[in-house]
């Protein structure tokens, strides 16, 4: 087992400025790892194979956290499917191949719960992968993430590479994307509700019926899980990372309103797409090897809201954030 124990080992965090990568970087620093290579997307375009190979030849990382990706919500996925499949295929192909060529000890590939079929049984077990049609609104992104899992497994089979794939559920936390044109549901709701509070608006409009069920994982918990898996997991195929608990979009919006102290009406626009009816991860495999999430949804939303208000200099806006 190629455990991440030596704090002198060279670690490459791909996508270190993103939601997931920045959380992994925070956790590594907290644990005393200091030999960490990072590059911004301007310094290193991971879609450029020659540039990736040059970087790997110079840095020779022992451990790689592949957290770089083009990500977004339903609107972004539906509007830019070619960019989503191309960028994510190129990033995964170049980094995974270079990790093999330059003999990295281990790579952790990060995917998404959207890899599973739209109407797969719930909760989602790892073996449901490729058993049915995908959700059309994020098919391009999902296919790229499935391809990355296949790359890891086939490089393992053919070359003996210790490449693993973790599939997190819906993520949120400090550093999230709150742009309504490209964000996921939780930060989008938070942004809308804070804006309504700030404007004194009587109502907030929300896409869809509010009925779909979603599971949410605080990003620092995911970072902890990634380092745990890098130390203790060496199997092929995806492993789910989540809380094993879900709630409706309506209930999520109501919880954010409560935490944000907003008393306006929630208006659901059923003409807008709901996406997959339910996405709940079966996390029994991860639990069995000794990891489970620590941060409750309420606590995570409180922390995320406090960060968001601070970033937008709105800390004095609300009378309470808990």
Q: What is the reported pLDDT for 1?
A: 43
Report the predicted TM-score, pTM, of the whole model to 2 decimal places: 0.92
Residue 192 assigned to a binding site? yes
Portion of the chain with pLDDT greater than 70, in percent: 97
Q: Is the pLDDT of residue 27 over 90?
A: yes
The answer to whether position 301 is within a domain reads no
Q: How far is CA 125 from CA 95, 121, 129, 284, 301, in A?
A: 27, 8, 8, 9, 27
Nearest to 241 by CA among 184, 166, 179, 302: 166
Q: What is the reported pLDDT for 274?
A: 86
Q: What is the total count of domains within the chain?
A: 1
Q: What is the reported pLDDT for 72?
A: 76
Average pLDDT, whole number, for the chain?
93
Residue 16 assigned to a binding site? yes
pLDDT tier for residue 182 given thresholds of 50, 70 and 90: confident
Q: What is the reported pLDDT for 71?
A: 82
The answer to whether position 154 is within a domain reads yes
Q: Which CATH number covers residue 54?
A: 3.40.50.720
Tell me the pLDDT tens digit for each residue of 87-119: 999 999 999 999 999 999 999 999 999 999 989
Q: What angle do CA 185, 75, 193 make, to 5 degrees?
A: 35
Residue 207 assigned to a binding site? yes
141 classed as catalytic: yes
Domain that includes residue 132, residue range: 11-172+218-241
Residue 21 assigned to a binding site? yes
The answer to whether position 105 is within a domain reads yes
Residue 145 assigned to a binding site? yes
The answer to whether position 161 is within a domain reads yes
Q: Which of 12, 116, 141, 218 is catalytic?
A: 141
Residue 316 assigned to a binding site? no
The average pLDDT across 27-53 equals 97
Contact 126, 286 (CB under 8 A): no
Q: What is the reported pLDDT for 321?
A: 42
The answer to whether position 125 is within a domain reads yes
The average pLDDT across 182-204 equals 93
Contact 217, 242 (CB under 8 A): yes
Q: Is the pLDDT of residue 221 over 90?
A: yes
pLDDT tier for residue 316 given thresholds of 50, 70 and 90: low
């Amino acid at each position: 087992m190629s455990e991440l124990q030596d704090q002198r080992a060279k670690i490459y965090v791909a996508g270190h400025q993103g939601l997931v990568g920045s959380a992994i970087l925070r956790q590594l620093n907290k644990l005393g790892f200091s030999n960490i290579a990072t590059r911004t997307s301007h310094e290193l375009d991971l879609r450029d194979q020659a540039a990736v190979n040059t970087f790997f030849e110079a840095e020779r990382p022992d451990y790689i956290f592949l957290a770089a990706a083009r990500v977004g919500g339903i609107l972004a996925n539906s509007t830019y499917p070619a960019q989503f499949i191309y960028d994510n295929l190129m990033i995964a192909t170049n980094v995974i191949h270079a990790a093999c060529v330059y003999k990295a000890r281990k790579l952790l590939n990060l995917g998404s719960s959207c890899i599973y079929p739209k109407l797969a049984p719930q909760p989602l077990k790892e073996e449901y992968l490729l058993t049915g049609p995908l959700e059309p609104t994020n098919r391009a992104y999902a296919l790229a993430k499935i391809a990355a899992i296949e790359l890891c497994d086939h490089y393992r089979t053919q070359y003996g590479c210790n490449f693993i794939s973790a599939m997190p559920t819906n993520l949120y936390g400090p550093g999230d994307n709150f742009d309504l044109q490209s964000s996921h549901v939780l930060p989008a709701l938070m942004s809308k509700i804070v804006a309504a509070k700030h404007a004194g608006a009587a109502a907030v409009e929300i896409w869809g019926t509010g009925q779909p069920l979603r599971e949410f994982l605080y990003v620092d918990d995911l970072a902890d899980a990634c380092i745990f898996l890098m130390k203790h997991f060496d199997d092929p195929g995806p492993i789910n990372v989540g809380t094993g608990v879900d709630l409706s979009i309506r209930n999520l919006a109501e919880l954010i309103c409560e935490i944000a102290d907003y008393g306006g009406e929630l208006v659901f626009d059923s003409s807008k797409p709901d996406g997959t009816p339910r996405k709940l991860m079966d996390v029994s495999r991860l639990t069995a090897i000794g990891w489970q999430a620590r941060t409750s949804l309420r606590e995570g939303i409180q922390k995320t809201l406090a960060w968001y208000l601070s970033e937008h200099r709105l800390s004095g806006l609300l009378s309470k954030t808990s």
